[in-house]
Amino acid sequence: MQSHKISEQRLLEKIQKLPPEQVLLVEDFIDSLALQNADHSLTFAAAKLSEPVLLKIWDNPDDAEYDKL
């Protein structure tokens, strides 16, 4: 927990030294990272929800021969 606070403090110090237009770029970058995380979470949730339906298609006696490949 202490190392997290140190890293956070270092980042704040670096951001405070930037000119305002670069601070806006940093903010945009952070927002894009947050969006990527949200997109990844949504994709993962959708995949987990579709898994039971797709399992019926993937796991069937007709295709058992392909399971051995």
Spell out the domain ranges in the chain.
2-67
Look up residue 64 and give its DSSP letter.
H
The residue type at 68: K
- The two tokens of residue 22 are 């670069």
Band of residue 1 on the pLDDT scale cut at 50, 70, 90: low
For the segment 3-58, what is each residue's pLDDT rounded down to a tens digit? 778 899 999 999 999 999 999 999 999 999 999 988 888 898 999 999 888 887 77
pLDDT for position 7: 93
Full-model pTM: 0.54
pLDDT for position 17: 97
Longest dimension (CA), the chain: 65
Report the C-alpha gap between 41 and 34 in whole angstroms. Answer: 11
